[in-house]
Amino acid sequence: MALQFCNIKVQSPFFLAPMAAITALPFRLMCRQQGAGLVITEQINATQICRNSDPFTNNGFFTIKTIPDEKPVGVQLFGTDKQEFARAVEIVGKDFDLVNINCGCPSHKEVSIGAGAALLREPQKIAGIVEAIKGVTDRPVTVKMRLGWSGNNSVKIAKLLERAGCDAIMLHGRSGEQKYTGKADWGSIKRVVEAVSIPVVANGDVKCGRDAEEILGQTGARFGMVGRAAMANPFIFREINEWIGRGVEWKPTPAEKVGGFFDYLAICERLEMVKLTDLKIKAVQFTKGIDFTKPTRVKLQGAKSIDGIRDALGDLRDSMERN
Ligand SMILES: Cc1cc2nc3c(=O)[nH]c(=O)nc-3n(C[C@H](O)[C@H](O)[C@H](O)COP(=O)(O)O)c2cc1C
């Protein structure tokens, strides 16, 4: 299923949402392999890029590095100063297919400096950032936002951004103040879809293939985005694609979940991005719902090396093959 999102060819209408400390390169690759149409880096501080083109230099795991295999991939920036955004895009933008401005993060670190969702209190400022970035790149410039800071002024903001040259809006159906409470308001996303002619990517609370179909149906959006549900289950993209593409209800088998961990490990090894704590988290998350025998669970929880994790999940795989 080849679709066009902005000027980018995507194989699926469902994208991986940017998630700080989650959407590092190995995880993005895994999600692309499982069928995500587009992936986006975690948020990266535009000011820090201006000072150092890889602001994560001291941390080989979270890095601005990208590789051709993960394309199409977007880079998400956060900040407040339009000149810094533009400069950051001049430095790193050419490596990515799309630029995304974070106007959705409600956490204290961003909001206290007026960045992330706090920018929704100053829509003109976001428009200025879009214009400044458009002036230095030919890549699509997109905004990831919430419905508003405290209330809902999403239609007004979206129209303003469209006039400023924004190429697409990724819209999480909650306000900044709501953080992650309550339910995402898909009806409000629909009103934005109807108000602008640029693509709107509908986001919030998609947890399975049926949700994916419903969010597109209820909002009229042609694209959707998955965050939290992908964290423990990168297979969700395959599940969504099977459901919306072929009407097939697909879920990974326990053996496929374990296999998914070994695929992830192989990606990390190939990229030389192996990190014990990350692998342990992924081993537990990817195999959620599998009936572990107690000795295997104890072995996994107590693993102090990559080989320890490999052994524990190898045991699990062997026991599945025997049964
Ligand atoms: C751990 C975590 C980190 C996140 N980091 C970012 C981020 O860096 N940039 C951003 O725009 N949104 C971030 N988000 C928000 C997600 O991109 C997404 O909009 C939100 O989780 C709603 O989608 P969901 O219901 O599919 O999870 C983050 C969410 C989570 C749970």
The series of mean pLDDT values per 10 residues for the chain, 323 residues long, is 92 97 95 98 95 79 91 97 98 97 95 97 98 98 98 98 98 97 98 98 98 98 98 96 97 93 96 93 90 83 93 88 76
pLDDT value, residue 63: 82
Ligand 1: nearest atom to the Cα of 104: 11
Quick one: what percent of the chain has pLDDT higher than 90? 86
Q: Looking at the structure, do residues 66 and 162 belong to the same domain, yes or no?
A: yes
- The rounded Å distance from CA 288 to ligand 1 centre is 21
204 lines ligand 1 (CB under 6 A): yes
The candidate with the shortest Cα–Cα distance to 71, out of 138, 15, 144, is 15
105 lines ligand 1 (CB under 6 A): yes
Q: Looking at the structure, do residues 269 and 242 belong to the same domain, yes or no?
A: no
- Residue 102's contacts (CB-CB under 8 Å, 6 or more residues apart) are 18, 43, 76, 77, 78, 110, 115, 116, 144
Final residue of a structural domain among 228, 246, 264: 246
Q: Looking at the structure, do residues 128 and 16 belong to the same domain, yes or no?
A: yes
- The rounded Å distance from CA 254 to ligand 1 centre is 27
d(CA 192, CA 196): 6
d(CA 8, CA 6): 6
pLDDT value, residue 162: 98
Q: What is the ipTM of this complex?
A: 0.99
Token pair for 194:
């109807």
Backbone φ and ψ of 138, nearest 5°: -100, 5
The kind and range of the H/E element at 40 are strand 39-45
Ligand 1: nearest atom to the Cα of 102: 11
Q: Indicate which CATH number applies to the domain containing 110.
A: 3.20.20.70
Task: Given the residues 105, 166, 208, 268, select the one marked as catalytic.
Answer: 105
239 lines ligand 1 (CB under 6 A): no
For this structure, is 105 an active site residue? yes
Q: Whose CA is nearest to atom 29 of ligand 1?
A: 19
The candidate with the shortest Cα–Cα distance to 171, out of 151, 199, 150, is 199
Final residue of a structural domain among 221, 246, 271: 246
Q: Looking at the structure, do residues 225 and 152 belong to the same domain, yes or no?
A: yes
Q: How many domains does the chain have?
A: 2
Final residue of a structural domain among 186, 211, 246: 246
| Residue carrying the six token digits 């719902």 | 289
- The rounded Å distance from CA 311 to ligand 1 centre is 33
Ligand 1: nearest atom to the Cα of 172: 19
- The rounded Å distance from CA 240 to ligand 1 centre is 19
